[in-house]
Chain A
Amino acid sequence: MTVLWLVILGLAMGLVFGIALEKGRVFEPGVMIGQFQLRSWIMLKMFLTAIATGLVVLAVLNGSGLAPLHPKGTEYLNNLIGGLIFGAGIAIAGACPGTVLAQIGAGYKDSWFILAGAIFGAMAYGYAEPVLGPALSGGPGKLTIAEMTGLPYWALALILAAVIAGGLVFLERWRPWRDDLGTDYTGVPTGSSAHHPSGLAHPAE
Chain B
Amino acid sequence: MLSLTDKAWSPYAAGVVIGLLQIPAFLLADTALGASSSFVSVAGYVASVFDPAVRDMDYFAKYMTSTKYAWQSALVVGIALGALISTRLAKTRRPRMSPLWRAALPVSGFGGRAAMAFAGGFVMLFGARMAGGCTSGHGISGVGQLAVGSILTIVAMFVGGIAVAMMYRKV
Which residues of A are interface residues toward B (Cβ below 8 A)? 1, 3, 6-30, 33-39, 42-43, 45-58, 61, 66-67, 69-76, 78-111, 113-127, 129-130, 132-133, 136, 139-140, 142-146, 148, 153, 156-157, 160, 168, 172, 177, 181, 183-189, 192-195, 199, 201-203
Q: How large is the interface on B (under 10, 10 to 19, 20 to 34, 35 or more residues)?
A: 35 or more
Residue in contact with B160 in the complex, picked from A83, A129, A142, CB distance below 8 Å: A83
* A149 nearest CB neighbor, chain B only: B146
B residues near A186, Cβ cutoff 8 Å? 98-100
Complex Cα–Cα for A113 and B113 (A): 9
Q: Are A101 and B79 in contact (CB under 8 A)?
A: yes
Q: Is B160 in contact with A11, judged by CB distance below 8 angstroms?
A: no
Closest to B147 in A: A71
For the complex, would chain A's binding face be called helix, strand, loop or mixed by DSSP majority?
helix
Once the chains are docked, how many angstroms separate the CA of A16 from the CA of B97? 24
Q: Which residue of A lies closest to B27 (CB)?
A: A67
CB proximity of A14 to chain B, nearest CB, Å:
2
Q: Are B96 and A110 in contact, CB atoms less than 8 angstroms apart?
A: yes
Given the interface pairs A22-B86, A126-B59, the reply to whether A120 lies near B122 with Cβ below 8 Å is: yes
Contact B118 A116 (CB under 8 A): yes
- Residues from chain A with a CB closer than 8 A to the CB of B58 are 130
**When the two chains form their complex, are residues B79 and A105 in contact, meaning their CB atoms are under 8 A apart?**
yes
Q: In the bound complex, do residue A61 and residue B23 qualify as a contact, i.e. CB atoms below 8 Å apart?
A: yes
Report B155 CB to chain A, min CB distance, Å. Answer: 7
Interface pair B103/A201, CB less than 8 Å apart? yes
The residue in chain B whose Cβ has the minimal distance to the Cβ of A88 is B160
Q: Which residues of A contact B158 (CB under 8 A)?
A: 36, 87
Cβ–Cβ contact B96 & A116, under 8 A: no
Which of B28, B32, B124 is within 8 Å of A118, CB to CB?
Answer: B124
